[in-house]
Amino acid sequence: MSTTKFIIEFRQGSSISIAKEQKNDHHSILSPFNPLSKLFPNGIINSDWFDKYINHIPFAVVYIIQGDDNVLNKINAAEATLKPLGITPVVLLVDGDSVIDYVKLNTSVIVYTFESDPDSIKLLMAQLMHISHDFYANIEAKIKQRYKKYYTTVENDTVDTNVELTPKFLEVRNLIKQGMIAQFMNSSDLTTAIRLLELAYDILLGLLPATPHELPHDIELTTQFKTLLDILCFHIVRGYFSIEEPLKAFKFHKLHIIHGDTNNDNWISLQYHWLAELVHTIPSAITTISKTKRTPPLTTYFGGVHLSQFDIISDASLLLVKAYESIKNGDHQQKIKLLQKALSWFDGLSSFIEYINWLLAEEYYTINEYAKAIDHYKLIHATNFILYKLLQCYLHTDDTKLALTSLVKLSLLSYKPVPQISFEKSLEIDLLDEDQLFSVDVLIFGNDQVYVRDEVTLQIVLHSNSHLSRLVKGNVDITINQVDVIVTSQGKHKGMKSISITHDNNKPITKLAKLHGQELDESFVDSMNLQFTDKSKIIHHLQTMTNSGTFEIECIKLQTTIKITSEHTITLNKIELHNTFVPHHHHTTIYQDHGKYNKRLTTPGNIIKVLPVRPTISITLLKDLQSYILGERLVIPLKIEFPNQDNKSVKLTAKVKGDVTWNWHSLKDDEPLLLQTGSDNYQLHVFTRTPQELLSVDLTAMVDDDEEVLVYDVASYVFPIMRKSPFACDYLISPSYRDSTLDMPSPFVVTDTAMPVTTRLWQGKLDINDEFRLEIVNIEYTIISSNPEIEVNVLSSSKEMVLFTTRAKSGGFNLRNVNVVTSSTIKWRRDEHSPVNDYTTPEWEVTLPLSDPRLLLVPKADADSFTLNYILENPTPRIFTFTTLLTFEDWSFEDQRNIVPIKQNPFPVLPFSRHHMIFYGKYTGEEKDEIKLPLFKVFDVQYKVGLPTLACSKETIVKSGDVYWKCK
């Protein structure tokens, strides 16, 4: 609403004429001081002044002129015509590129071209905004000058009036002019205009007489003032909507009605009518009043509906209904127009639409247009009163068939007293509507689980919904001629048949009937008395299930006849199809001769599942398994006996909780085992790495029965899961020795491109704690260097140990140590008949010395004689100097082969070399399981450190820094 819009009038021709105001001396024809004016005497302002600035005096004229040689003369002529009137001419030149510069240079008129600058049109619209503002600002200034002007009044000798002219008359006139012009000046913000118009409204309201005038002119003057108040109210309400103040808009409209002629119903209706028209053009986002706005406590105004938990919402349809309700006289055509418009606008709740349809139907019914009343009554949700009204309309229009249809509909609703209906002729009709005369409950029941050859009971409860006998004069007889129960099967074979029950008037009337019936190829047939003297009838049909499957009561068909007998006979025939059977509660009622009881439902009452005879399967666990080790490929040996008396295809499958894989021997994962008739042994393989408390294995049999697979529980086994690892391991790495020149190349053989590269030999061993006493089949070792410059090569591995070497790729004398990451995979099984499982140890990171000198001991024993070979390794390009001392107890080293003194003075060890020191000795102490070997002290003279002895034999152990020989 705040968007600026222009009123554009298109004219053809080379000239334009603007009508000038006619003045008598100093007063305009629109002035109340001009005797020739419609306002004379004592008037304020009328629609002629509004029409002047809306339709007759533009603020600008846009000329579209061909850019030829005579264009400048045309522009000057237009300017001479419009400038005296304050109207701005604007020129659009077509094909004017050649003359545009010349024209702009020789005229002050605004000139644009079409072709050379497409954006000129956008500039033109912005220019028109400025022109309009200047134009109306000039008019506003003239209006404000009127306050300083002295008005000369004209003597009134021709019109009788008691109204006294006061300055407030002229003040109201000027305020209205200012308010209207302010809307033209700033259409995007009408705050100023609203303030001026509200002030004019209040003053004008005070000018209305307290008591009615008697003179004709004064009465007409009062009418003009009231019309002017209506105009001001419209502009004020519209202004509040434009600045998004809907609450103030509705409030002012309400006050306007209070101040107006409340005794004039047509005037009140008209006020709500124009408000509805206005609201209908406004986006709902503006007319919706949010409670989050900072507004004073909200008061309900019509047009706004206050809901306790929602916003205040205004709707144009509600306003039209209010306009309709304000008309108290019998203007039914106007009322119908308002309601029809409200119906076309409304897009809200269907209940309100039904209310409007109800009002329209009542208006048409009042003016005896019954056909149109019927059209709107039909659109209303059927209630007693509405249906009774429709019934009356059909009787007035002699439409007996529709009257009977409405009568039946009315009989199906809850009864409320109405005058009874009678008919003046006999008639038989077929009822084709969808209304149900009966409600039907269905239940198939037997044992908790029903198998083939079991007997089940079908219960059908028929309840009459009609109270027709209370609505008509005469006797009403309701009879079901035939009940057809349609049974469908989801499988190939029928195990339950359909039922057909016909009416037999010769049989006694009972509320509960038990029927077996005669069995035919496709159904059972039987008969009973189906005349309704009571509200309900209960039918029990017993049937033996002949095949397995799922059977459903898909539909129940009722063929009914109703006879209304008085002076004339009315016969109503109806066929009903019931295919929805939903119990009202979680249980249903089973009726018996001695009473009734409730049955809890877990499946729909109209469906029953018949199972085949359960297969006989015997399963025996052949091996006692106490527990399951996490990560184990467990084999569960089973003996399965399956006689298969019914020749059914049966498959055995396993259900294992958690992230567990399983398979039968030689079958794929999750593939069921097809059982062979007889007795046989099978193996079930189970595997998981997911930690959990128990391994639960449920064996189920799947029986293929037509298109359905039935599942039966057969056996269950639960094994505790050992959540800890099968082995507790420690990893040991110790130096090893081999007599190979490749490990320590000669320092005197040097190539032109590289220095000698040494290789060191290591021995890795797993220390395994086997708590479960498992069989270890093999151990695989993985050793990786963390430094890509160091090579790690595995020489050999076994269950006991692994031998590997470390070697720098290019000398690596600056690399003192290397970190290796090592782990092992242990292949294990429970026994020789069990599958092999894998257990991967955690990774260990070990630091191994590469370039430090080390002292190796390679001992050998022959009874109590020992050869102790001490080897000093120097893998560096430097020369080291050492001293040695052999200390011992219970040892003798008198062997003549000893050439190395017990104590050596400083001696050098050359680069890239091994220095061997061999001692031949004999143990002289007591016989023990472990013999303490002599202590060989090696001291680095330069670095002042001693070297520890590193034994390279699986027969030695180290305790507290001493080396012991294991005798056993």
Q: What is the pLDDT of residues 554-568, one digit of tens each?
A: 999 999 999 999 888
Fold match between 430-611 and 854-966?
no
The answer to whether residue 302 scores a pLDDT higher than 50 is no
CATH of 854-966, one of 2.130.10.10, 3.40.1310.30, 2.60.40.10, 3.30.559.30: 2.60.40.10
Contact 906, 883 (CB under 8 A): yes
Most confident of 140-149, 200-209, 376-385: 200-209
849 pLDDT exceeds 70? Answer: yes
Distance CA 89, CA 67 (A): 16
Mean pLDDT of all residues in 919-928: 92
pLDDT of 299 higher than 80: no
- Of the two residues 162 and 853, the one the predictor is more confident about is 853
At 307, is the pLDDT very low, low, confident or very high (cuts 50, 70, 90)? very low
Residue 42 banded pLDDT, cuts 50, 70, 90: confident
Q: Write down the mean pLDDT value for the chain.
A: 85
What DSSP state is assigned to residue 452?
T
The tens digit of pLDDT for each residue in 245-257 reads 999 999 999 999 9
Q: What is the DSSP letter of 432?
A: -
Strand ranges (DSSP E) for 409-454?
A: 427-431, 438-445, 450-451
Q: How far is CA 503 from CA 108, 499, 507, 561, in A?
A: 104, 14, 9, 11
Q: In whole angstroms, what is the distance from residue 115 CA to residue 681 CA?
A: 98
Predicted local confidence at residue 120, as pLDDT: 66
Tokens of 177: 């002019």
Question: Distances from the Cα of 374 to the Cαs of 191, 343, 396, 418, in angstroms?
Answer: 50, 16, 11, 19
pLDDT band at 309 (very low <50, low <70, confident <90, very high): very low
Confidence bin at 486 (pLDDT 50/70/90): very high
Q: CATH for 728-849?
A: 2.60.40
Give percent of the chain with pLDDT exceeding 70. 89
Say how far residue 802 (Cα) sits from the centre of its chain: 60
Task: Give, in order, the Cα–Cα distances in Å from 727 to each of 37, 627, 730, 830, 839.
Answer: 118, 15, 10, 13, 8
> Of 390-404, 425-439, 669-683, which gets the smallest average pLDDT?
390-404
Residue 22 has pLDDT above 70, yes or no: no
Q: 694: which 2 tokens?
A: 């128990």
Report domain extents, the chain: 349-419, 430-611, 618-722, 728-849, 854-966
pLDDT tens readout for residues 327-359: 877 788 888 888 888 888 877 556 678 788 888
282 φ/ψ angles, rounded to the nearest 5 degrees: -100, 140
What does the block give as tokens for 43?
A: 């008037």
Local confidence band at 125 (pLDDT 50, 70, 90 cut-offs): confident
The reported pLDDT for the residue numbered 297 is 42
One CATH from 1.10.443.10, 3.40.50.300, 2.60.40.10, 3.40.50.2300 for 618-722: 2.60.40.10
Model confidence band, residue 295 (pLDDT cutoffs 50, 70, 90): very low
What is the bridge-based pairing of β-strands 628-629 and 775-785? unpaired
Q: What is the pLDDT of residue 335?
A: 87
Adjacent-strand bridge partners of 66: 94
Confidence of residue 306 (pLDDT cuts 50, 70, 90): very low
pTM over 0.85: no
- Specify the residue for token string 């006294």: 164
| Residue 881 pLDDT greater than 60, yes or no | yes
Contact 451, 613 (CB under 8 A): yes
Confidence of residue 157 (pLDDT cuts 50, 70, 90): low
Measured at the alpha carbon of residue 564, what is the angle toward residues 558 and 570, in degrees to the nearest 5?
90
Q: What is the pLDDT of residue 289?
A: 63
- For domain 430-611, the CATH class is mainly beta
pLDDT tens digits along 755-784: 678 889 999 999 998 888 899 999 999 999
The pLDDT, as a whole number, for residue 945 is 94
Q: How confident is the model at residue 433 (pLDDT cuts 50, 70, 90)?
A: confident
DSSP string, 498-545: EEEEEE-TTSPP-SEEEE--EE-SSEEEEEE--EESSSEEEEEEEEE-
Cα separation, 80 vs 78, whole angstroms = 5
Mean pLDDT of 723-737: 89
What integer is the mean pLDDT of 216-242? 92
Q: How sure is the predictor about 311, in pLDDT bands with cuts at 50, 70 and 90? A: very low
Top-confidence residue, 422 or 671: 671
Is 258 in a helix, a strand, or coil? helix
Compare 963 and 386 and report the one with higher pLDDT: 963
Report the range of poorest mean pLDDT among 372-376, 584-588, 857-861: 584-588
* Range scoring the smallest mean pLDDT among 20-29, 314-323, 612-621: 20-29
Distance, in Å, from the CA atom of 439 to the CA atom of 663, rounded to the nearest integer, reads: 54
Integer Cα distance of 676 and 680 in angstroms: 8
**Angle between helix 216-242 and helix 246-259 axes, rounded to 10 deg:** 170
What is the per-residue pLDDT across 75-116, written as a single tens digit (0 to 9) for each?
A: 888 888 888 888 999 888 887 677 888 888 888 888 887 665
Which residues, in sequence order, are CB contacts of 751 under 8 Å at separation 6+? none
Give the model's pLDDT for residue 301: 41
Whether the per-residue pLDDT at 632 is higher than 90: the answer is no
Q: Does residue 696 come out as left (phi exceeding 0), alpha (psi in the -120 to 50 range) or beta?
A: beta
Task: Give the contacts of 505 (CB within 8 A, at least 6 positions apart).
Answer: 529, 531
- 644 pLDDT tier (thresholds 50, 70, 90): confident
The per-residue pLDDT for range 520-539, each reduced to its tens digit, is: 988 999 999 999 988 899 99
Name the H helices within 536-645: none
> For residue 576, what are its two tokens?
């009903």
What is the per-residue pLDDT for 863? 86
